[in-house]
């Protein structure tokens, strides 16, 4: 009791103790603040990948609220005049709705798109940094293999996402007799 | 041309001057970056404090501009959500924030350089202790291999139970592919919907047919109908009844890249006389043997053309005798036949 009263008044101590008394986080905060980070810009490539991923998750969650990943054919009656009355896949028509009707929807799509590009580019450059600094050797070898796996997953995800809005890559969706027409526009 | 050497001399001197200036600048920058001498040369640890006056004014200004762009975004979103302007606001705001943070990182907060020792793994003593403890855990157990094997089997079984349902994530394509509009009794019609009479299909002619009442642009719909001499047929035994009067029907969609098959090698030229009539895809020249159930004779196609069993009804019209013999459309790693 006396200990606390003697310290109160110092804003920094008050703020940290507010957190520490509830979460016991002072030790973890100290670890974070003492963390020694290499003093070269190339070590930030991994950070760029990480924050692109965070943006991908946030914007992707938003897109998932509106996107309908369906190949079933619907007749389009939306705000995009050029496709009025055309028979489109539900996926494509929901993408049009997201782009033209939802406020900020196109911005979210574009942000997601660019974050995905930056994500893969940053991982690749990060991989180069790891290769050229020899950071793939023991004791970091397991981490290196995990990172490579993540790169492969990111590329596969990117490939799948390219086909989301139209779901009609020539060799895949168009060949199923149920989806009779291809709507790549 | 006479003044050329003189001109070149001036340019050359200018170039030299620029080069020297550049090198001098780089040298100056490097000198500034060199850590100040702090007694011991091995220990680069240092701490510099003191923020310049201009940084203490510029950074708050940048942060205030960042706030403005944020408010601009909100205002635009309400008034006129134009994607380009929204993106511009957000982009400029993030660029301002980034420059404020970079300046703060370089000029505002204390600059600290520290050296962290690399943690040395491979503590022999600890490893031996752990191994010893692990060994002690087995004391008194005689059937170790049995128990270990049983645990492995339990793990494998549960893993299979968890992994197998993931198949549901994949597309259920197999059934979709073999699910064409063709079934027994469906009448073959031409482009305009008129039934195709067996008598109208002549040897050497090439007729495209569709299932009556079905959507024509479904990949499973179009078939090619041809007539050959029944005596020359080499169909497998289970397809013996699929070609009444020597009339055969095959899917019109090439199994290589789903082009429409539009060439029929009949009548035969002297050079192909030994081979028999064939359906040929114009895209990559996949050639399918008509007499032999559509097997690939030449070209990149990976599997035979699906055949449609035919019958002739009482009115002389061609009708389907059953579904297609296999999935229609281009092959992929899942289709082997």
Helix (H), strand (E), coil (C) string for chain B = CCCHHHHHHHHHHHHHHHHHHHHHHHHHHHHHHCCCCCCCCCCCCEEECCCCHHHHHHHHHHHHHHHHHHHHHHHHHHHCCCHHHHHHHHHHHHHHHHHHHHHHHHHHCCEEECCCCCCCCCCHHHHHHHHHHHHHCCCCCCCHHHHHHHHHHHHHHHHHHHHHHHHHHCCCHHHHHHCCCCCCCCEEECCCCCECEHHHCCECCEEEEEECCCCCCCCCCCEEEEECCHHHCCCCHHHHHHCHHHEEEEECECCCCCCECCEEECCCCHHHCCCCCEEECCCCCCEEECCCCCCEEECCCCCCCCEECEEECCCCEEEECCCCCCCCCCCCCCCCC
Looking at every residue in chain A, the average pLDDT score rounds to 82
In angstroms, what CA-CA distances link B220 with B13, B126, B186, B251, B283? 77, 68, 13, 7, 19
**Across A139-153, B45-59, B239-253, least confident range:** B45-59
Q: What is the ipTM of this complex?
A: 0.75
CB-based contacts of B77, cutoff 8 Å, min separation 6: A103, A104, B86
Q: What is the mean pLDDT of residues A132-137?
A: 93
**pLDDT given at position B67:** 97
**pLDDT given at position A78:** 84
Residues β-bridged to residue B298: B287
Check whether residue B211 and residue B309 sit in a common domain.
yes
**pLDDT given at position B102:** 92
What's the rounded Cα separation, in Å, for the pair A13 and A3? 12
Please, what sign has the CA dihedral across residues B99, B100, B101, B105?
positive
Asked if pLDDT for residue B3 goes beyond 80, the answer is: no
Confirm whether B298 is domain-assigned: yes
> Are B176 and A178 a contacting pair at CB < 8 A?
yes
Asked if pLDDT for residue A72 goes beyond 90, the answer is: no
**pLDDT given at position B30:** 58
> Are B115 and A36 a contacting pair at CB < 8 A?
yes
**pLDDT given at position B315:** 92
A175 in Cβ contact with B330 (< 8 Å): yes
Record the pTM.
0.58
**pLDDT given at position B62:** 96
Question: Which residue of chain A is at minimal alpha-carbon distance from B102?
Answer: A41
**pLDDT given at position A185:** 31
**pLDDT given at position A144:** 96
What does the pLDDT look like over A9-68, one tens digit per residue? Answer: 788 888 888 888 898 888 888 888 888 888 888 999 999 999 999 999 999 999 999 988
What does the pLDDT look like over A79-103, one tens digit per residue? Answer: 888 888 888 888 888 888 888 888 8
Which residues in chain B have Cβ-Cβ distances shorter than 8 Å to A177? 176-177, 179-180, 218-221, 328-329
**pLDDT given at position A180:** 37
**pLDDT given at position A46:** 93
Asked if pLDDT for residue B79 goes beyond 80, the answer is: yes
Check whether residue B196 and residue B285 sit in a common domain.
yes
Q: Which residue has the higher pLDDT, A145 or A169?
A: A145
Asked if pLDDT for residue A171 goes beyond 70, the answer is: no
Confirm whether B245 is domain-assigned: yes
Q: What is the mean pLDDT of residues B248-260?
A: 91
Residue where one domain finishes, among candidates B115, B146, B161 = B115
What's the rounded Cα separation, in Å, for the pair B278 and B28? 80
**pLDDT given at position B329:** 83
Q: What is the mean pLDDT of residues B122-150?
A: 90
> Are A177 and B332 a contacting pair at CB < 8 A?
no
**pLDDT given at position A73:** 82
Asked if pLDDT for residue B289 goes beyond 60, the answer is: yes
**Highest mean pLDDT of the ranges B11-15, B138-142, B149-153, B229-233:** B149-153
**pLDDT given at position B17:** 87
Looking at every residue in chain B, the average pLDDT score rounds to 86
**pLDDT given at position B261:** 93
What does the pLDDT look like over A148-157, one tens digit per residue? Answer: 999 999 998 8
Closest CA to B245 of B209, B203, B289: B203
Residues β-bridged to residue B307: B250
**pLDDT given at position A184:** 36
**Across A118-122, B17-21, B277-281, least confident range:** B17-21
**pLDDT given at position A163:** 66
**pLDDT given at position B280:** 94
A39, A107, A176: residue with CB nearest B176: A176
Residues B88/B90/B93/B97 CA torsion (nearest 10 deg): -140
**pLDDT given at position A183:** 36
A107, A111, A177: residue with CB nearest B218: A177
Asked if pLDDT for residue B211 goes beyond 50, the answer is: yes
Confirm whether B226 is domain-assigned: yes
Domain that holds residue B194: 188-320
B77, B121, B177: residue with CB nearest A104: B77
Confirm whether B14 is domain-assigned: no
In angstroms, what CA-CA distances link B177 with A90, A179, B79, B218? 20, 10, 50, 11
Confirm whether B233 is domain-assigned: yes
Report the DSSP pairing between strands B310-312 and B307-308: unpaired
Confidence at B203, pLDDT banded by 50, 70, 90: confident
Asked if pLDDT for residue A2 goes beyond 50, the answer is: no
B238 in Cβ contact with B325 (< 8 Å): no
**Highest mean pLDDT of the ranges B65-79, B178-192, B205-219:** B65-79
Confirm whether B110 is domain-assigned: yes
B227 in Cβ contact with B246 (< 8 Å): yes
Q: Find which of A34, A139, A177 to mutate to test the B interface (most B CBs within 10 Å of its CB).
A: A177
Check whether residue B85 and residue B195 sit in a common domain.
no
Residues of B in CB contact (< 8 Å) with A are: 77, 81, 83, 86-87, 90, 113-116, 121, 171, 173, 176-177, 179-180, 215, 217-221, 257-258, 328-330, 332
Question: Which residue of chain B is at minimal alpha-carbon distance from A175?
Answer: B329
Q: How many domains does chain B have?
A: 2
Asked if pLDDT for residue B89 goes beyond 60, the answer is: yes
Check whether residue B213 and residue B89 sit in a common domain.
no
Check whether residue B193 and residue B312 sit in a common domain.
yes
Pairs of residues, one from chain A and one from chain B, whose beta carbons lie less than 8 Å apart:
55
- Enumerate domains of chain A plus CATH numbers: 1-36 (no CATH), 40-175 (1.20.810.10)
- Give pairs for B230-233: CB < 8 Å, separation 24+: B232/B276, B232/B291, B233/B291
Confirm whether B329 is domain-assigned: no
Q: What is the mean pLDDT of residues B155-177?
A: 80
**Whole-number CA gyration radius for chain A:** 24
Closest CA to B213 of B233, B240, B188, B239: B188
How far is residue B133 CA from its own chain's centroid?
A: 49
Which residues in chain A have Cβ-Cβ distances shorter than 8 Å to B77? 103-104
What's the rounded Cα separation, in Å, for the pair A164 and A70? 9
Confidence at A173, pLDDT banded by 50, 70, 90: very low
Confirm whether B62 is domain-assigned: yes
Residue A13 token pair: 């101590």
Upstream peptide bond of A139 is cis (omega within 30 degrees of 0) = yes
Q: What percent of chain B has pLDDT over 90?
A: 48
Q: How many C-alpha atoms does B250 have within 13 Å on its Cβ side?
A: 31
**pLDDT given at position B20:** 85
């Amino acid at each position: 009791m006396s200990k606390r009263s003697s310290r109160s008044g110092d804003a920094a101590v008050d703020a940290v103790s507010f957190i520490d008394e509830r979460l016991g986080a002072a030790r973890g905060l100290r670890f974070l603040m003492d963390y020694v980070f290499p003093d070269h810009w190339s070590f930030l490539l991994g950070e760029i990948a990480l924050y692109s991923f965070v943006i991908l998750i946030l914007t992707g969650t938003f897109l998932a609220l509106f996107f309908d990943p369906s190949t079933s054919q619907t007749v389009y009656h939306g705000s995009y005049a050029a496709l009025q009355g055309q028979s489109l896949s539900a996926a494509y028509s929901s993408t049009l709705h997201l782009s033209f009707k939802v406020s900020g929807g196109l911005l979210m799509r574009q942000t997601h798109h660019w974050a995905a590009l930056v994500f893969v580019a940053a991982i690749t450059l990060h991989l180069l940094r790891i290769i050229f600094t020899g950071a793939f050797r023991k004791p970091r070898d397991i981490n290196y293999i995990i990172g490579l796996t993540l790169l492969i997953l990111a590329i596969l995800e990117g490939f799948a996402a390219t086909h989301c809005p139209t779901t009609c890559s020539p060799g895949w969706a168009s060949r199923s007799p149920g989806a009779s027409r291809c709507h790549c526009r | 041309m006479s003044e050329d050497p003189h001109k070149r001399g001036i340019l050359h001197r200018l170039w030299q001057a620029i080069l020297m200036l550049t090198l001098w600048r780089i040298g100056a920058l490097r000198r500034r970056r060199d850590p100040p001498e702090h007694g011991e040369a091995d220990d680069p640890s240092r701490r510099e404090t003191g923020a310049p006056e201009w940084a203490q004014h510029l950074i708050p200004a940048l942060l205030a501009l960042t706030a403005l762009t944020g408010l601009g975004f909100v205002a635009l979103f309400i008034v006129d959500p134009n994607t380009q302007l929204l993106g511009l606001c957000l982009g400029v705001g993030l660029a301002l924030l980034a420059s404020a943070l970079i300046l703060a990182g370089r000029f505002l907060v204390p600059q600290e350089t520290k050296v962290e020792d690399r943690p040395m793994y491979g503590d022999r003593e600890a490893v031996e202790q752990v191994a010893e403890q692990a060994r002690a855990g087995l004391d008194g157990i005689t059937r170790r291999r049995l128990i270990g094997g049983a645990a492995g089997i339990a793990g494998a079984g549960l893993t299979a139970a968890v992994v197998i349902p993931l198949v549901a994530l994949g597309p259920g394509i197999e059934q979709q592919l073999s699910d064409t509009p063709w079934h027994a009794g469906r009448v073959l019609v031409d482009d305009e919907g008129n039934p195709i009479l067996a008598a109208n299909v002549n040897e050497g002619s090439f007729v495209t047919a569709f299932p009556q009442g079905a959507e024509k642009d479904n990949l499973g719909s179009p078939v090619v109908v041809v007539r050959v001499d029944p005596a020359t047929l080499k169909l497998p035994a289970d397809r013996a009844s699929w070609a009444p009067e020597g009339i055969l029907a095959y899917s019109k969609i090439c199994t290589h890249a789903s082009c429409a098959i539009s060439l029929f090698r009949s009548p035969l030229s002297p050079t192909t006389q030994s081979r028999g009539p064939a359906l040929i895809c114009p895209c990559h020249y996949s050639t399918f043997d008509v007499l032999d159930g559509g097997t690939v004779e030449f070209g990149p196609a990976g599997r035979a053309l699906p055949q449609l069993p035919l019958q002739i009804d009482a009115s002389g019209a061609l009708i389907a005798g059953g579904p297609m013999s296999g999935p229609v459309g281009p092959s992929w790693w899942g289709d082997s036949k």
